[in-house]
Structure 1
Amino acid sequence: MAHRKLTFPMPARADVVFDAFHYHEWRCQWDSLVRRTSVESSAPCPSVGATTENLGAGALRALSMRTQFVSYDRPVVAAAAMVGRSFPFTQWAASMRHQEQGPHQSLLIYTYTFQVGPASLRAVMEPLVDWVFVR
């Protein structure tokens, strides 16, 4: 399994950054990796237990993933796990933790864990997919 923690300094308060990531109609306006995100209940943002659908954009256009939120505590943390499968992933989970750093600064700490398949290609595919994730 691949597991990594990435930390990003953000030029805004934690609550602003949290909302930019989790209000799905806003995310599509700036996130070049998705062409559509939605909460299945039609809510503007997820909640604990909510299922979301995320459709890839650009080179990731073929990727579609459903996730279920296991944590949603605005503006501190949100975490979700993949529901079902989405090639190349057999398992996927991630969290976004937000920490205030100053009047107009925060840190976004993104932690992910995933496994890819098929198992026979995992040793080759997993480092490649992890490399793409980091980029």
Structure 2
Amino acid sequence: MTPQQVSLIQSSWAQVVPIREQAATLFYDTLFTMDPALRPLFKGDMSEQGRKLMGVLGVVVASLERLQELVPTVQALGAKHVGYGVRNAHYDTVGQALLQTLELGLGPAFTEPVRDAWATAYATLAGVMQEAAAASPQAA
């Protein structure tokens, strides 16, 4: 990721933070519309799940300039998600839902460079998670 992409993600994220609860709801509504089969993977309170998602995204966004420090945490998330039943194909759907949520939430501020930056960040981190998931003993 380039410094410009990091800056675009961080500045756009600052616009999401005030609407994070609505963004989380929109994200999960979008995700389950795209793939209703994903709904049973989420067993707990969806409000709490949304808070966790927004918290993780906040940490990721704040850590993008130190991506290597974030990798072990992202790897652990990938390994953990195997136990939830997450499969490789789900990562594509989650990425699409994230981009659509950002587009709806940010409106005209979701420019093509902002979209590309988020897509690059997501692809990078999802790849790390998928590699960790594949290496997880639970994946066997």
TM over 0.5: no
Q: Which has the larger helix fraction?
A: 2
Q: Which has the larger strand fraction?
A: 1
Tell me: higher relative CO, structure 1 or 2? Use CA pairs within 8 A at least 6 residues apart: 2
